[in-house]
Chains A and B, each alone.
Chain A
Amino acid sequence: MVLTPPEINLKLERILPIVQKPARYVGGELNQVVKNWDSIETHVALVFPDIYDIGMSNLGLAILYELINDRPDTLAERVYSPWIDMEAAMRKYGIPVYSLESHQPLSAFDIIGISLPYETVYTNALNVLDLGGIPIFSAERRETDALVIAGGHATFNPEPMYKFVDAFVIGEGEQVIQEVINAYQSWKRSNLSRQQLLISLTSIPGVYVPSLYQVHYHPDGTVDRTEKLVEQANFPVRKRIVPVLPPPPTRLIVPNIETVHNRVPIEIMRGCTRGCRFCHAGMVSRPVRERSVTEIVQAIDTALKHTGFEEIGLLSLSSSDYTHISELIQSITSKYHGENLGISLPSLRIESFSVVLMDLLRESRHGGFTLAPEAATEDMRKIINKPVSTAQLLETAHQIYSRGWTTIKLYFMIGHPAETLDDVKAIVELCKLVLAEGRKTIGHRAKLNVGVSTFIPKPHTPFQWVSCDSVEQIQSKQSLLKQELRHRDIKLTWTNPEVTLLEAWLSRGDRRMADVVFQAWKNGSRFDAWQDQFNFEAWSSAFESTHLDPFFYTHRVRSSDEVFPWDHISTGVRKKFLLQDFQLSLEYQTRMDCRLHCFACGILPAFADLRRENPTAPWSCPQVKSPQMVKVTDYS
């Protein structure tokens, strides 16, 4: 029997006192929206498949929460993964996963929208469905079961989750979520079969209903082709974008406990024109759309009044590239002077100007200064298309230390197969040079934090043809770093190579990977993103029992004409463009910021209609010049 909210509350009364951080499980925060359940037509559960502390900081769900709750006929409530101790208690006392607002069991909702921003939440997503009494497999759900949809950056390759999700929403959700709700409502009123609901969803642009497609494989395991099974289905499934960014959410829920980003998040810009070849976000979130300074400042003001947060985060993939960044920082700092407001401005370019910007924000509480050179040799910088010179980095470091910061954090990436041990040694040398710059400037107070992540060849990027570095190679690169960067004033962090492998398998997986995900969950995997919970054994044995070779997915040279499992999902960026960019990387050729010059990635023709309908939409794509005018080879 499904429990009612009062029954759930009665059971919770004895559990909450004995679990860690019970505030995760009660809701009731300022600005949560509680509607009258019975008088609302459509009930949407927004699921973030990790704990409250992480999920509350997710901007995507905050946007959808506000948009859906603005509809008088629909409500949205939050659901997060219970932590291990809470899950044990819930299973013991028979409490289903429930929403924080009205404590309704997950199965009482009409639509369950799961956020899948990264792959290591997949087993958690299954666990939430299971704890909520929802059939795990899409094929087993019936007319009375909730519709399970999913979106988020990981769903640009939806295939590893195809068995569990009824419909994926590819790309930006702001408009398409309304269309999905509308389609659900007409279906609900119609008395038609669940299959009819799926068919009506599949014709919405940006929606991918995996059960209405079939994949054919070559004998060697690669994909031959993916075909749609019904006429109405999108093919390819092109991501959705909004032509103009809608106003940012300002009535944000204020958590009562510490969360990862406990602040007002304001997206100042979406998309990036830098074209770093490893960067999934930079490729899938094109084109660049900026908000106006006026809109941003107004949103900050409203959000601060509603929430009282003492920090704001100005979010984008590359803050320095926001056209009016100086003006924005100046108006914010002058407006909030003396208000003890922390302002964080992540993703700054490596140049002196960034230090000037950060200096303006200094009045506020602040941490270290973060820069992401990613690579330390000219060759690697050209390969990944992030050309920052060592001289420029050292000059910036000097500026940072001399303006009073004592700690710099540098991000690097290892593990591109073209990278040699010499390239890694260069990281060591560069770190030492940066610290020496600090020593020169402020003596022994200078500190350096070095974060080294491991490259994953992500789908929809120019590196999707590249294989992963071997585990042995990653280990030897990491031990070199650990050995050489053992220093009193340098703090090194790195990624567990097994976690990297898992992320790589899942992000590159095909439909057969769904069985691995299911089996790993059965084997006890959950919270794969958590170091202390990650269970590599569960994944290895899942591969064994499904007879799949994990290295087929990650350690294999791919021909340029291979059909990828995600090829029927379109980000608007053409595969041909990605291939050309990949080939350029092999020749150590870089491409400049595409605000300055269009390389015809395909995003403009893909959304030509949208742009025509919104002639004043400020996309940051340049005027496309005629081919004769272009000095650089036009790779279209």
Chain B
Amino acid sequence: MQPATSEELFRLIALSGQGDRKAFSALYEATSAKLFGLSLRILNRKDLAEEALQEAFVNIWHHAQNYRPDKANVMTWMTTIVRNKCFDMLRAMPHENQLNEEQSFDDWASDDLTPFERAAERSDTKALLGCMEHLAPLQRQAIALSYFHGMAHEQLSHHLAQPLGTIKTWLRRGLQSLKDCMGA
């Protein structure tokens, strides 16, 4: 994230916490497309993804005053809320709807994005992508399946047709090399 942008997000969340509706509206403008992209990725259905986004922003408004800048940056904090809401909905869904890794998201991608979303090609994200590329493909997939679909060891083992012990080792090694690559 560009420094100016993260300051701006912080200002908006601080004001939202004090009940400032205009700031909250600006916060939504600045972040909703990125967060909607995430909920689409997790839920694979536009209607459900919109419902999750809506629920998440209602939560964000109610909890904005609890935001702690020393713990997480604003985007991390909001991402956690959106992702948790998506996982709640995912758990309530019939199993066959849960996974569609082949789905193309380009169909939905809009060119009408705010400067914040353009700025989201942030350098630390690029670094993470670079680090992900260094992982073995299946390690990478295990991490992505877990992050975007909340898959536990057993589900990963089933989905990737690998023994449980192998999955655990992949995750452990994958995360370790990610950490080394990002620099502790």
A and B pair up: no
